[in-house]
Structure 1
Amino acid sequence: MHIFKDFYRNEVKLSFDDHPFSKYPKHVWVICKYKNKWLLTRHKDRGLEFPGGKVEDNEHPSDAAIREVWEETGGVTESIHYIGQYIVAGKGGTIVKNVYTASIKELLPQKTYYETHGPILLDALPADVKQRKSYSFIMKDDVLTHCLDYISTHARNRNG
């Protein structure tokens, strides 16, 4: 388990175990790639971030993750995998969020991208993302760092 402070100095607990904080989290976040590029979205208020959002009533979190990618980027999910879960106890309450990694098979234009301006493709994430004003606070804590390390390590282990 990783414990650290987020952008707003709230304590975050991140685990790569199977749903350690809730079997039914109310939020999802999807670290996704399309054609070997990172697929982000530009949130209208927060800036650049990976797609994510709230789980609707009677919706499975993985279905919410697929829906959020579609709504915010027009991305059609080819595969999606749960990698971990984190919990943040903030001033507005406690949030439990599943983190997924997804491979996107195509991007389709949307009439609306809801609260975002649509897809953004990047060859690489900048090393100084925490200092960049164009990025959302969601990208500026160690959830992203630990998840990218986890994804990288598990991809190497799968590939030999």
Structure 2
Amino acid sequence: MKTFYDYYNNKIQLSFDDQPFNPEPKHVWVICRYRNKWLLTKHKNRGLEFPGGKVETNETPKQAAIREVQEETGGEVEGIQYIGQYFVTGKREKLAKNIYFAKVSAIQKQDSYFETDGPVLIDQLPSNIKCNETYSFIMKDDVLTHSLDYITKVIEPMYS
């Protein structure tokens, strides 16, 4: 388990074990790839980020992750894998969020992308993302750094 602090100085605990903080988390975050590019969405208030959101009633976290990718990017998920969970101890609330890695097979144009402006494809995430105002605070803590490392070392070799 890794412990660190996020952009707003909230305590974060991150683990790549199977749902160590909550077996029924109410939030998901999905790191997406489409044709060897990163698939993000542009949140109307926060900036560029990977898709994610709340788990709805009668929905599993995995189903929520697939739905959030579709709603926020128009992406059709062809494969999705749970990679970890993190727990945020905030000033007002505490929450557990599952992290997934998704391969997207197609992106469909939509009339609405809900609270986002739709899909954004980039070749490479910037090395200075923590200082880059274009990106959401969600992208600026070590959850992203550790998750990308995990994907590179554990997930991608499984597809090779």
The interval holding the TM-score normalised by the smaller chain is over 0.9
What stretches of structure 2 of length at least 5 have no aligned partner? none
Amino acid at match of 1:28: V
Q: TM-score, normalised by structure 2?
A: 0.97
Amino acid at match of 2:75: G
From the superposition, tell whether residues 24 and 92 of structure 1 become closer, same or farther in structure 2 (CA, over 3 Å): same
What stretches of structure 1 of length at least 5 have no aligned partner? none
Partners of 1:73 and 1:98 lie apart in 2 by 19
Amino acid at match of 2:121: L
1:77 aligns with 2:84: no
Following superposition, which runs of at least 4 residues in structure 1 exceed 2 angstroms of deviation?
155-160
Partners of 1:122 and 1:71 lie apart in 2 by 19
Aligned-pair identity in percent equals: 59
SS of the counterpart of 2:89?
strand
Match in the other structure for 1:151: 151
Amino acid at match of 2:67: R
Equivalent pairs counted in the alignment come to 160
SS of the counterpart of 1:97?
strand
Q: TM-score, normalised by structure 1?
A: 0.97
Match in the other structure for 1:110: 110
From the superposition, tell whether residues 156 and 39 of structure 1 become closer, same or farther in structure 2 (CA, over 3 Å): closer
From the superposition, tell whether residues 49 and 95 of structure 1 become closer, same or farther in structure 2 (CA, over 3 Å): same
